[in-house]
Structure 1
């Protein structure tokens, strides 16, 4: 709202200052007549219309993103919980055996869906989750020790923590939305 007021008032103030200092900028060599006055009014109202239209488009986009997030986030939170449950079951397995379970693909899909929601507060957590997923994938692909347990892999637990954080962020966002209504 502050930016809207700024964009509406600042050109008017600058125009008035310029008019006071050098009226010939606006008027040329002739005096201000009715036609010139209405031209100024028209220019100002046109500018106000453009600013208000831009603000309305921005607000529509924000409301659309918020509605999309409200519809998708509960399902994504459930999906994140299912992935962490699956990861919890895998903790006793060997790292080599983890490939067959395909939870890393599910994590990538979840990350892409979260990126589409464009909700505030999620980009940092989503980037971190994406990075940890890549690290776990590299670790699984390059695993040379067949006896290495998943429990001993730090990247796996970083990914687990980050997915739990995603779920918590979604829950906090849902609570904020409920409180703002």
Structure 2
């Protein structure tokens, strides 16, 4: 049980118990002043409290449905994105041996950006710092390639290429682990 689940249960307990105590306190004060109260008055207060509980339980159920939906979305998308990240890392290692004049026309940099942005939107993979670093490295590699396209240099000479490659491989491993953990649940 993680901290979010514990906090949610404490929050739910507080929301459920507090109105009951307040309603009972107000009911005893209200009915103490009235000499001929009826059972219908108690039923009215009880119905109000249970109506409140119905709203709280509905909100809790909606949060649960949202979590299930996010898990299902991650379960469907992560395997496909893992294959894309693995393919991009492989293509990047091949691209490293080419020259800047050939690399400038390759679509790999835009594909890396699109794949990482779609990975950032998935709740089952919460490593936005690594994604942001990789996007920064991608931008720097693309800028370096574009600025050196007139001189045919090897792309391997770019300082940000190998950290980008390492980040893609790390993400591939982390996604694989996230998929296995989700299957184990």
Same fold (TM over 0.5): yes
TM-score, length basis structure 1: 0.81
> Residue 154 of structure 1 aligns to a residue in which SS?
coil
Structure 1 residue ranges, 4+ long, deviating more than 3 angstroms after superposition: 8-11, 17-24, 26-33
Identify the residue that residue 139 of structure 2 maps to in structure 1. 134
> Residue 121 of structure 2 aligns to a residue in which SS?
helix
Unaligned runs of 5+ in 2: none
Given the alignment of the two structures, is residue 40 of structure 1 paired with residue 40 of structure 2, yes or no?
A: no
Identify the residue that residue 81 of structure 1 maps to in structure 2. 86
Please report how far the alpha carbon of residue 33 of structure 1 lies from its aligned counterpart in structure 2 after TM superposition: 4.4
Identify the residue that residue 49 of structure 1 maps to in structure 2. 54
What is the rounded CA distance, in whole Å, between the counterparts of 1:98 and 1:171 in structure 2?
29
Q: CA RMSD in A?
A: 2.8
Name which of 99, 103, 108 aligns with 1:98. Answer: 103
TM-score, length basis structure 2: 0.80
Name which of 144, 167, 170 aligns with 1:165. Answer: 170
What CA deviation, in whole Å up to 9, does each residue of 1:48-93 have, x standing for no partner? Answer: 1111111111111111111111111111111111111111111222
- Mean CA deviation greater in 63-72 or 146-155: 146-155
Contact 1:95–1:150, Cα closer than 8 Å, also in 2: yes
For these two proteins, the number of residue pairs brought into alignment is 179
CA gap 1:162/1:27 in 2 versus in 1, 3 angstroms: farther
What CA deviation, in whole Å up to 9, does each residue of 1:95-135 have, x standing for no partner? Answer: 34311221001112212321332224233332222222222
What CA deviation, in whole Å up to 9, does each residue of 1:118-157 have, x standing for no partner? Answer: 2242333322222222222222233377254222212111
CA gap 1:41/1:114 in 2 versus in 1, 3 angstroms: same
> Residue 117 of structure 1 aligns to a residue in which SS?
coil
